[in-house]
Amino acid sequence: MIDDQKSIPTVADLREHSLTGVVQHEIEKMILSGELPPGERLNEKAIADKLSVSRGPVREACRALAELGFVQLIPNRGVFIKRLSKEDAIEVYDLRAGLTGLAASLLAPVITPAHVGHLRHFVTEMETAAENGDFAKFYPINVEFHDYIVRATGNSRLMKLYRGLVKEFHLFRSHGLVQRDALLESNREHRDILAALEARDALQSYDVSQRHVSNGKHRMLKALSDLAEEAIPHHRRPALAGAIE
């Protein structure tokens, strides 16, 4: 006979699980904000002291974050904040492109005037930021514009998948290299997305949204290539042009 009591979590188990979740959320925020930069070793004791918890929940939280791709657990060395490579970023871009297109195609047939109003407001704010070449202001509004489209579909699974990719992409800090002209171009594409949604054209909404994220990938690659070009001594550029460290 199986003892069912063994499968029932105790109050202590529930408390520990809840605490681990809180610790995980706090560490995740530190990573995404840049407080814990890519490549840095995570000091479990320092985190535990900062959050006023024991090292156990921190250790469990790190295991969970490793499964999500935020940190790497290296035997005999410790826990390190993951550094997203250019190749990783490309994969995330490609997946985001498909999910972004899907979200727009789902929203188009059911979009409301309220949805359109919110999206138009985002586009207007981004235009001002783009004109000023203000990436720091443009980027969070851009994130919210696309997240709003996903939220508006009401598809919780799509939302979970999409947000997971966005969180992972935040680890790729070089996306801040995009300049004013690229921001303006990006926002012209936002206007195309809005127009397709207003027209309730699901196919066009998918096409322009998917293409927008793909174009973003190319803008990112060009920014990295330009940066590498600037960093290479002139007499060596023909051989190493476009190389990314």
Q: What is the pLDDT of residues 125-180, one digit of tens each?
A: 999 999 998 887 898 899 999 999 999 999 999 999 999 888 877 776 544 456 78
**Strand order across the beta sheet in which 41-42 lies:** 41-42, 78-81, 71-74
CATH of 86-240, one of 1.10.287.110, 3.90.1150.10, 3.30.1330.60, 1.20.120.530: 1.20.120.530
What residues does each domain of the chain span? 4-81, 86-240
Q: How confident is the model at residue 16 (pLDDT cuts 50, 70, 90)?
A: low
Residues 6+ apart with CB under 8 A from 156: none
Give the pLDDT score at 83.
79
Closest CA to 139 of 32, 65, 29: 32
Rounded Cα–Cα distance for residues 28 and 74 (Å): 18
Give the pLDDT score at 164.
86
pLDDT at 13 over 70: no
Give the pLDDT score at 178.
60
From 14-28, 135-149, 174-188, 228-242, the region with the lowest mean pLDDT: 228-242
The owner of tokens 């290296």 is 74
pLDDT at 244 over 50: no
| Concatenated DSSP letters of 154-200 | T-HHHHHHHHHHHHHHTT-GGGGG--HHHHHHHHHHHHHHHHHHHTT
Q: What is the pLDDT of residues 193-215, one digit of tens each?
A: 999 999 999 999 999 999 999 99
Query: CA Rg, the chain, in Å?
Result: 22
pTM of the model: 0.69
Judge: domain 4-81, CATH 3.30.420.40: no
Across the range 6-12, mean pLDDT stands at 46
86-240: same fold as 4-81? Answer: no
114 or 224: whose pLDDT is higher?
Answer: 114
Rounded Cα–Cα distance for residues 222 and 213 (Å): 14
Report which listed range, 78-87, 101-110, 175-184, 219-228, is most confident: 101-110
